[in-house]
Structure 1
Amino acid sequence: MSGKTAPRSVGDGSTRTRLERGRGALGPALELVHTGRAPTRAVLTAELGVTRATAGAVAAELESLGLIRVDSHPSAPTGSQGRPSHRLHLADDGPVVLAAQIHSDGFRAALVALGGRIVATAPGCGTVGADPAGILGAVVAAGADLLAATGRRCVGAGLAVPSAVAEPEGTALNPVHLAWPPGSPVRDVFAEQVRAAGIEGPALTGNDVNLTALAEYRHGAGRGARDLLCVATGHTGVGGALVLDGKLHTGSSGLALEVGHLRVDPEGRPCHCGGRGCLDVETDPLAFLIAAGRTPGPEVSHLQQAKDLIRDAYADPAIRRATERLIDRLGLGLAGLVNILNPDRIILGGLHTSLLEADPERLRAVVADRSLWGRSGGVPILPCVLDHNSLVGAAELAWQPVLDDPLAALGHD
């Protein structure tokens, strides 16, 4: 659907006054519903710190924009007392954003609604060539096909890439796991492809692990954390991200938390950064396959091969030894990060989720043993829980302008 929803007609003056007073609360209110923190209008009222009437006007305006749905006949749970509150739901037929993820073996495109809900997805495999425009053109074309098939209105696009993304230029600084040349203008190329496809809204780009952390913080294993550390493998390599009070910490130029280049074994394998024994080459899927004495096959990704071995062949002594080796290396890296950052939660993704699930006590013991304070050593370590979390994080990039100012983003300002 390409048409825009008409602005809500406000009847009486008192309602109009309440809405104007609550206009600045539209974005915060939408974010509360988007992240599941305001399931009812009563909770929304309390979280926003406004009157019940103002919260009602705000919820009604978000409903008129096609973003949420308010129960017209609220019902109280059995046995409860007091006035029932209207429940708030995200609109089933509301707008979507195009989310895309590039990895070393291809790409995935998806349409993602508010709440991190994946509406439709389309994988694309094959060689990622040296020209970013080729693969980005393919991923945008796949997204455009999804939009045509579903008929949903699109309000933006987000892209996750396996590279540090320098700010403010939006360049893939050193995409070592892709064939792209260093400094590729990935954000500009993506935006050009999105515009050429006639897709509405801004087109934004970020590092895949940063976006994993953002998605998990808002919708997954990171909900409720204040200082969240995420460490994850992709198909190759290791990345990290930090969310502080709801905001990604990306440093002065977008390059913070390159944890893959923490040294965990001075005698370890050479790393493409010029060092030796970095997390990137000691705890990624290829490192696991080498430690297990397995020759990587071409049928599926290194990540899937490694996860399958841990799941299906953990009783094999070689697989167990390889798992323990990587757990010890990962634990050393996490302990160093805990000592520096003092997060209140750690989440692990990719192969690191499988390592945690294989022997959680061993990993936690290594982190606690190498942490400077016992309290820091007790930080919770949890697996990521969202399917396609980098895609959901890419969608969060595209949803952010709507969360910041729904009226302006949807063309009603």
Structure 2
Amino acid sequence: MTQTRTRLERGRSALGPALELVHTGRAPTRAVLTAELGVTRATAGAVAAELEALGLIQVDSRPLGAAGAQGRPSHRLSIAPHGPVALAAQVHTDGFRAALVGLGGRLVATAPGSMTVPADPTHVIDAVVEAGAQLLSETGRRCVGAGLAVPSAVAEPEGTALNPLHVAWPAGAPVGELFTRSLVAAGIRGDDREPVPGFVGNDVNLAALAEHRHGAGGGAQHLLCVATGHRGVGGALVLDGRLHTGSAGLALEVGHLTVNPEGSPCHCGSRGCLDTETDPLAFLTAAGREPGPEVSLLRQARDLLRQAYATDPSVRAATEQLIDRLGLGLASLVNILNPDRIILGGLHRELLEADPERLRAVVADRSLWGRSGGVPILPCTLDHNSLVGAAELAWQPVLDDPLAALGVG
């Protein structure tokens, strides 16, 4: 056995952690990788070489030291530019989107699709998988797995959509089973010619996971994400790098916190929930605007906020109303969860950017921990973060054990 192979055997358990460090941008050089893994330089070199041989990363063969730096320059590590991808899919109230996502959360190709989401989820799931299969065919990329983001709490491990309130699916729709069946029917296979694994998750959970690994949540130990997309409000919690989904995948249904007891009726049977008081429809209604059918409610609300906030008193009043109600909900979550960072997505990101001081003041005034020093509240930074998060589900087995997931060794 060669010396290099012996080092690799000693560091085999470091392959997954090493890949995750490069994947999340925390190990830009082999020197940093060595320090983060706590292994010898030789072992880190063998691990990086093996990941490169698997087609996952790229090691700079001719490193350059910084001007004036002492000692040997370190090899730079980066994602292999033509490496494998995950098929990511998202279904929302206005249709679907498919994408190919490489390591590092990089979108390789996307294919948006619009359709009225039917009561039978089979049709839209088949459509989004077909779009993904077309992207794979066009790019010729290897596929490691597939992930699907849906606007519903998803029970684990069954993969059933328990409360798809803003699409017409029945409660308990077996989206995991349907997604897997569609992947098989589309002939999407891995290097071993076996069907690729399919994973399903709630769209906001997956957005939070993506933001933690590649966006505004990086470095947070207790990350709270709250977001409103096309309809409704969702929340997610990432603890020490892993999604907290509860005992059955149903944690953080924050949309049903009451923030206005006299407010609008909610699909859940209550009134004045965050879900109905701070989503795009609530904003348009508060601003006295009649929603149009031509574009999504999220797009209409964003455009109105950006274009008229500074000049239209009704839009400013609607913005302040939603900020105050969002702040009440966030304060309750801060009291319960004590996060070290909050990130906001969808229309909530726009509300934060419109008047950050007002939102932060409401949260600080209404929360115990907010008063003791404040919790950073930041906007999400990734485009299509639910898609990137769906890809993270598919990449996770590779990050856990690259050799086993890729059928090597």
Tell me the TM-score range normalised by the shorter chain. Answer: over 0.9
Superimposed CA distance per residue, residues 104-151 of structure 1 (whole angstroms, 9 cap, x where no aligned partner): 010000000000000000000010001111000000000010011001
The answer to whether the Cα contact below 8 Å between 1:23 and 1:58 also exists between their aligned partners in 2 is yes
SS at 2:108 equivalent: strand
2:290 to 291, 295, 307: 295
Identify the residue that residue 147 of structure 2 maps to in structure 1. 158
| 2:224 alignment partner, SS class | strand
The match for 1:6 is: none
Compared CA separation, residues 374 and 107, structure 1 to 2 (3 A)? closer
User: In structure 1, what is the Cα distance between the partners aligned to 2:99 and 2:156?
Assistant: 25
Which residue is 2:271 aligned to?
Answer: 276
**Over residues 261-280 of structure 1, what are the superposed CA-to-partner deviations in whole Å (9 max), with x where a residue is unaligned?**
00001111111101010000
Give ranges in structure 1 of 5+ residues lacking alignment: 1-11
AA matched with 1:282: E
Partner Cα distance (1:168, 1:61) in 2: 32
Counterparts of 1:82 and 1:373, CA distance in 2: 46
- CA 1:133/1:22 → structure 2, altered by over 3 Å: closer, same or farther? same
Residue 338 of structure 1 contacts residue 376 of structure 1 at CA under 8 Å; is this kept in 2? no
Matching residue's letter, 1:349: G
Alpha carbons of structure 1 residues 226 and 370: separation in structure 2 relative to 1, 3 Å: same
Corresponding position: 1:406 with 2:402: yes
Q: Name the residue aligned to 1:59.
A: 48
User: Would the alpha carbon gap of residues 52 and 129 (structure 1) be closer, same or farther in structure 2, given more than 3 Å must change?
Assistant: same
Tell me the CA shift for residue 38 of structure 1: 0.2
| Aligned residue among 320, 329, 332 for 2:325 | 329
Q: 1:209 aligns with which of 183, 204, 207?
A: 204
How much has 1:13 moved relative to structure 2?
A: 2.5
C-alpha displacement of 1:100: 0.3
- Determine whether 1:383 maps to 2:379: yes
Q: Match of 1:250?
A: 245
1:16 pairs with 2:5: yes
Moved runs in structure 1, 4+ residues, more than 4 A? 374-377
Deviations 1:136-194 (Å, cap 9, x if unpaired)?
Answer: 00000000100110011111000000000011211000101111111000001000001
| 2:229 equivalent in structure 1 | 234
- Aligned-residue Cα RMSD (Å) equals 0.8
| Equivalent pair of 2:334/2:370 in contact (CA under 8 Å) | no
Give SS of 1:112's match: strand
User: 3-state SS of the aligned residue for 1:148?
Assistant: helix
Contact in 2 for aligned 1:339/1:376 (Cα 8 Å): no
In 2, are the aligned partners of 1:371 and 1:377 still within 8 Å (CA)? Answer: no
Equivalent residue, structure 2, for 1:143: 132
* Structure 1 partner of 2:360: 364
Contact 1:367 1:377 in 2 (8 A): no
| Matched residue, 1:344 | 340
The equivalences for 1:212-223 within 5 A come to 212-223=207-218
In 2 relative to 1, CA 156–373 (structure 1 residues): closer, same or farther, beyond 3 Å? closer
> How much does 1:373 deviate?
3.6
2:363–2:370 Cα contact (<8 Å) kept? no
Bigger Cα displacement from structure 2, 355-364 vs 71-80? 71-80
Shift of 1:377: 5.7
Matching residue within 151, 163, 186 for 1:197: 186
Aligned match of 1:3: none
User: Taking structure 1 as the reference length, what is the TM-score of the superposition?
Assistant: 0.96
CA distance in 2, matches of 1:411, 1:296: 51
Q: Secondary structure at the match of 2:252?
A: coil
**SS of equivalent to 2:11:** helix
Q: How does 1:46-125 map to 2 (within 5 A)?
A: 46-125=35-114
